[in-house]
Amino acid sequence: MRLQGEIAIVTGAGRGIGKEIALALAAEGASIAAVARTLSDLEQTVAEIKEAGGDAIALSRDLTDISQVQSMVDAVVEKYGKIDILVNNAGGYPKEIYDITKNQAIKIWDWSEEQWDQIIKTNLKIPFLCTNKVIPEMIKQKKGNIINISSRMGRIASQMGAYACAKAGIVTLTKTTAIQAQEYGIRCNAIAPTILDTPGQRAYNHSVGQDEIKMGNADCMGKAALYLICDAPEVMTGQVLDLFPTV
Protein backbone atom coordinates (compact mmCIF):
# COMPACT_ATOMS: atom_id res chain seq x y z
CA MET A 1 0.00 0.00 0.00
CA ARG A 2 2.62 2.48 -1.12
CA LEU A 3 0.07 5.23 -1.79
CA GLN A 4 -1.88 4.97 1.45
CA GLY A 5 -3.23 8.42 2.32
CA GLU A 6 -2.49 9.87 -1.13
CA ILE A 7 -5.24 11.62 -3.12
CA ALA A 8 -5.20 11.18 -6.89
CA ILE A 9 -7.21 12.80 -9.67
CA VAL A 10 -7.38 10.62 -12.79
CA THR A 11 -9.06 12.18 -15.82
CA GLY A 12 -10.69 10.01 -18.44
CA ALA A 13 -11.04 7.37 -15.73
CA GLY A 14 -14.31 5.87 -16.94
CA ARG A 15 -12.69 3.39 -19.29
CA GLY A 16 -9.55 2.30 -21.07
CA ILE A 17 -6.20 3.70 -20.01
CA GLY A 18 -7.63 6.03 -17.37
CA LYS A 19 -9.53 3.22 -15.72
CA GLU A 20 -6.44 0.98 -15.69
CA ILE A 21 -4.43 3.71 -13.99
CA ALA A 22 -7.18 4.50 -11.48
CA LEU A 23 -7.47 0.84 -10.49
CA ALA A 24 -3.69 0.48 -10.16
CA LEU A 25 -3.32 3.55 -7.93
CA ALA A 26 -6.29 2.52 -5.81
CA ALA A 27 -4.80 -0.95 -5.33
CA GLU A 28 -1.79 0.76 -3.72
CA GLY A 29 -3.99 2.68 -1.31
CA ALA A 30 -4.66 5.99 -3.06
CA SER A 31 -8.09 7.58 -2.85
CA ILE A 32 -9.24 8.26 -6.40
CA ALA A 33 -11.22 11.13 -7.88
CA ALA A 34 -12.32 9.60 -11.18
CA VAL A 35 -13.19 12.34 -13.65
CA ALA A 36 -14.77 12.28 -17.12
CA ARG A 37 -17.92 13.38 -18.88
CA THR A 38 -19.88 10.12 -18.77
CA LEU A 39 -21.04 9.50 -15.22
CA SER A 40 -22.16 5.91 -15.80
CA ASP A 41 -18.64 4.88 -16.85
CA LEU A 42 -17.13 6.63 -13.84
CA GLU A 43 -19.58 4.94 -11.49
CA GLN A 44 -18.46 1.56 -12.80
CA THR A 45 -14.80 2.44 -12.13
CA VAL A 46 -15.66 3.66 -8.64
CA ALA A 47 -17.70 0.53 -7.94
CA GLU A 48 -14.78 -1.71 -8.90
CA ILE A 49 -12.42 0.25 -6.68
CA LYS A 50 -14.78 0.04 -3.73
CA GLU A 51 -15.43 -3.66 -4.28
CA ALA A 52 -11.67 -4.18 -3.93
CA GLY A 53 -11.67 -2.28 -0.64
CA GLY A 54 -10.52 1.09 -1.99
CA ASP A 55 -11.91 4.62 -1.84
CA ALA A 56 -13.08 6.66 -4.84
CA ILE A 57 -15.53 9.30 -6.00
CA ALA A 58 -16.95 9.99 -9.46
CA LEU A 59 -16.95 13.55 -10.81
CA SER A 60 -18.68 14.24 -14.12
CA ARG A 61 -17.04 17.30 -15.67
CA ASP A 62 -16.42 18.86 -19.08
CA LEU A 63 -12.70 19.45 -18.69
CA THR A 64 -12.50 21.76 -21.70
CA ASP A 65 -14.34 24.31 -19.53
CA ILE A 66 -12.03 26.01 -17.03
CA SER A 67 -14.88 26.68 -14.61
CA GLN A 68 -15.67 22.96 -14.48
CA VAL A 69 -11.98 22.17 -13.99
CA GLN A 70 -11.98 24.51 -11.00
CA SER A 71 -15.16 22.85 -9.76
CA MET A 72 -13.38 19.49 -9.96
CA VAL A 73 -10.47 20.77 -7.90
CA ASP A 74 -12.80 22.35 -5.34
CA ALA A 75 -14.79 19.12 -4.97
CA VAL A 76 -11.67 17.02 -4.39
CA VAL A 77 -10.21 19.46 -1.86
CA GLU A 78 -13.55 19.68 -0.06
CA LYS A 79 -13.78 15.88 0.13
CA TYR A 80 -10.16 14.98 0.89
CA GLY A 81 -8.41 18.21 1.90
CA LYS A 82 -5.57 17.95 -0.65
CA ILE A 83 -4.40 16.67 -4.03
CA ASP A 84 -1.19 14.64 -4.27
CA ILE A 85 -1.38 13.13 -7.74
CA LEU A 86 -2.79 14.30 -11.07
CA VAL A 87 -3.00 11.96 -14.04
CA ASN A 88 -3.85 13.89 -17.21
CA ASN A 89 -5.26 11.09 -19.33
CA ALA A 90 -8.46 12.50 -20.87
CA GLY A 91 -8.26 12.76 -24.64
CA GLY A 92 -8.87 10.86 -27.84
CA TYR A 93 -9.55 11.20 -31.53
CA PRO A 94 -12.64 10.71 -33.71
CA LYS A 95 -12.83 8.15 -36.49
CA GLU A 96 -13.35 11.02 -38.96
CA ILE A 97 -9.60 11.73 -38.99
CA TYR A 98 -9.11 8.50 -40.93
CA ASP A 99 -10.30 8.14 -44.55
CA ILE A 100 -11.47 4.53 -44.73
CA THR A 101 -12.08 4.79 -48.48
CA LYS A 102 -8.38 5.50 -49.06
CA ASN A 103 -7.12 3.48 -46.07
CA GLN A 104 -5.10 6.42 -44.79
CA ALA A 105 -5.23 9.28 -42.31
CA ILE A 106 -6.69 12.56 -43.52
CA LYS A 107 -4.00 14.76 -45.05
CA ILE A 108 -2.99 17.86 -43.13
CA TRP A 109 -4.29 20.09 -45.94
CA ASP A 110 -7.71 18.43 -45.83
CA TRP A 111 -8.37 19.09 -42.15
CA SER A 112 -11.03 21.65 -41.30
CA GLU A 113 -10.29 24.33 -38.75
CA GLU A 114 -13.05 22.93 -36.55
CA GLN A 115 -11.57 19.42 -36.59
CA TRP A 116 -8.12 20.74 -35.73
CA ASP A 117 -9.36 22.97 -32.90
CA GLN A 118 -11.47 20.21 -31.36
CA ILE A 119 -8.65 17.67 -31.19
CA ILE A 120 -6.13 20.20 -29.85
CA LYS A 121 -8.69 21.26 -27.23
CA THR A 122 -9.43 17.68 -26.17
CA ASN A 123 -5.83 16.45 -26.07
CA LEU A 124 -3.72 19.48 -25.13
CA LYS A 125 -5.96 22.13 -23.61
CA ILE A 126 -7.45 19.75 -21.02
CA PRO A 127 -4.05 18.76 -19.53
CA PHE A 128 -3.06 22.43 -19.43
CA LEU A 129 -6.26 23.48 -17.64
CA CYS A 130 -6.04 20.64 -15.11
CA THR A 131 -2.37 21.36 -14.41
CA ASN A 132 -3.11 25.07 -14.14
CA LYS A 133 -5.76 24.53 -11.45
CA VAL A 134 -4.22 21.61 -9.55
CA ILE A 135 -0.65 22.85 -9.09
CA PRO A 136 -1.63 25.70 -6.72
CA GLU A 137 -3.00 23.04 -4.36
CA MET A 138 0.23 21.03 -4.63
CA ILE A 139 2.32 24.13 -3.97
CA LYS A 140 0.54 24.55 -0.63
CA GLN A 141 1.94 21.21 0.56
CA LYS A 142 5.29 21.50 -1.26
CA LYS A 143 4.86 18.19 -3.06
CA GLY A 144 2.99 16.58 -5.90
CA ASN A 145 3.17 14.20 -8.79
CA ILE A 146 1.78 14.88 -12.26
CA ILE A 147 1.64 12.28 -15.02
CA ASN A 148 0.65 13.32 -18.53
CA ILE A 149 -0.39 10.74 -21.11
CA SER A 150 1.25 11.36 -24.46
CA SER A 151 1.47 8.78 -27.24
CA ARG A 152 3.84 7.02 -29.57
CA MET A 153 2.30 9.26 -32.22
CA GLY A 154 3.60 12.29 -30.38
CA ARG A 155 7.14 10.89 -30.25
CA ILE A 156 7.74 9.91 -33.87
CA ALA A 157 6.62 11.13 -37.28
CA SER A 158 2.95 10.24 -37.60
CA GLN A 159 0.07 10.41 -40.04
CA MET A 160 -2.43 11.38 -37.35
CA GLY A 161 -2.43 15.14 -37.89
CA ALA A 162 -3.70 17.24 -35.01
CA TYR A 163 -3.71 14.28 -32.62
CA ALA A 164 0.01 13.68 -33.12
CA CYS A 165 0.71 17.40 -32.79
CA ALA A 166 -1.28 17.59 -29.54
CA LYS A 167 0.49 14.56 -28.08
CA ALA A 168 3.85 16.07 -29.05
CA GLY A 169 2.70 19.21 -27.26
CA ILE A 170 2.11 17.10 -24.17
CA VAL A 171 5.83 16.27 -24.13
CA THR A 172 6.79 19.95 -24.05
CA LEU A 173 4.04 20.75 -21.53
CA THR A 174 5.52 18.03 -19.31
CA LYS A 175 9.04 19.39 -19.53
CA THR A 176 7.95 23.00 -19.01
CA THR A 177 5.84 22.06 -15.98
CA ALA A 178 8.72 20.04 -14.54
CA ILE A 179 11.16 22.92 -14.85
CA GLN A 180 8.81 25.47 -13.32
CA ALA A 181 7.38 23.32 -10.52
CA GLN A 182 10.44 21.46 -9.28
CA GLU A 183 11.29 24.10 -6.67
CA TYR A 184 7.97 23.27 -4.97
CA GLY A 185 8.69 19.55 -4.74
CA ILE A 186 6.40 18.76 -7.67
CA ARG A 187 7.46 16.23 -10.28
CA CYS A 188 5.93 16.00 -13.75
CA ASN A 189 6.57 13.13 -16.14
CA ALA A 190 4.78 11.62 -19.12
CA ILE A 191 3.99 8.19 -20.53
CA ALA A 192 3.95 7.63 -24.29
CA PRO A 193 2.30 4.28 -25.05
CA THR A 194 1.87 2.37 -28.25
CA ILE A 195 -1.65 1.49 -29.41
CA LEU A 196 -3.24 -0.37 -26.49
CA ASP A 197 -6.03 -2.91 -26.32
CA THR A 198 -8.95 -0.99 -24.83
CA PRO A 199 -12.67 -1.08 -25.67
CA GLY A 200 -12.43 2.36 -27.24
CA GLN A 201 -9.43 1.46 -29.36
CA ARG A 202 -11.06 -1.78 -30.54
CA ALA A 203 -14.18 0.17 -31.55
CA TYR A 204 -12.06 2.71 -33.41
CA ASN A 205 -10.06 0.00 -35.19
CA HIS A 206 -13.27 -1.68 -36.29
CA SER A 207 -14.75 1.62 -37.54
CA VAL A 208 -11.78 2.19 -39.86
CA GLY A 209 -11.40 -1.44 -40.96
CA GLN A 210 -8.24 -2.23 -38.98
CA ASP A 211 -9.41 -5.03 -36.68
CA GLU A 212 -6.18 -6.94 -37.27
CA ILE A 213 -3.84 -4.25 -35.93
CA LYS A 214 -1.47 -5.39 -33.18
CA MET A 215 -2.00 -3.75 -29.77
CA GLY A 216 -0.29 -3.76 -26.40
CA ASN A 217 -1.88 -4.75 -23.08
CA ALA A 218 -3.54 -1.77 -21.41
CA ASP A 219 -2.52 -2.84 -17.89
CA CYS A 220 1.01 -1.65 -18.70
CA MET A 221 -0.23 1.89 -18.07
CA GLY A 222 -1.05 1.25 -14.43
CA LYS A 223 2.37 -0.31 -13.93
CA ALA A 224 4.06 2.64 -15.64
CA ALA A 225 2.17 5.17 -13.55
CA LEU A 226 3.10 3.38 -10.34
CA TYR A 227 6.75 3.31 -11.40
CA LEU A 228 6.80 7.07 -11.98
CA ILE A 229 5.04 7.82 -8.70
CA CYS A 230 6.53 5.23 -6.37
CA ASP A 231 9.75 3.80 -7.79
CA ALA A 232 11.38 6.42 -9.99
CA PRO A 233 14.19 8.48 -8.39
CA GLU A 234 13.02 11.73 -6.81
CA VAL A 235 15.17 13.65 -9.27
CA MET A 236 13.34 12.11 -12.24
CA THR A 237 11.14 14.86 -13.63
CA GLY A 238 10.40 16.18 -17.09
CA GLN A 239 10.95 12.74 -18.60
CA VAL A 240 8.89 10.66 -21.02
CA LEU A 241 8.50 6.93 -20.44
CA ASP A 242 8.17 5.39 -23.90
CA LEU A 243 6.11 2.21 -23.97
CA PHE A 244 6.63 1.02 -27.51
CA PRO A 245 9.23 -1.00 -29.41
CA THR A 246 12.12 1.07 -30.74
CA VAL A 247 13.58 -1.63 -33.00
pLDDT tens profile 133-162: 999 999 999 999 999 999 888 888 776 788
Say what the pTM is: 0.90
Rounded Cα–Cα distance for residues 233 and 200 (Å): 33
User: Domain spanning 7-243 has what CATH number?
Assistant: 3.40.50.720
Give the tens place of pLDDT for each residue, 113-134. 998 899 999 999 999 999 999 9
Compute the distance between CA of residue 174 and CA of residue 26 in angstroms, rounded to an integer.
24
How does the average pLDDT of the chain come out, rounded? Answer: 89
Which helix (H) or strand (E) segment holds residue 87: the answer is strand 85-88
Angstrom distance (rounded) from CA 56 to CA 50: 7
Q: Which amino acid is at 121?
A: K
Q: Taking the mean position of all CA atoms in its chain, how far away is CA 228? A: 14
**Active-site annotation, residues:** 163
Sequence-ordered list of residues with C-beta below 8 angstroms from that of 156, at least 6 positions apart, any chain:
none
pLDDT category of residue 12 using cuts at 50, 70 and 90: very high
Distances (CA, A) of 204 to 40, 114, 120, 146, 156: 21, 20, 19, 28, 21
pLDDT in tens, 24-38: 999 999 999 999 999
Which residue, among 144, 45, 3, has the nearest Cα to 86 in the 3D structure?
144
Question: What pLDDT is attached to residue 72?
Answer: 98
Distance CA 49, CA 32 (A): 9
Which of 61-65, 73-77, 105-109 bottoms out in mean pLDDT, i.e. has the lowest?
105-109
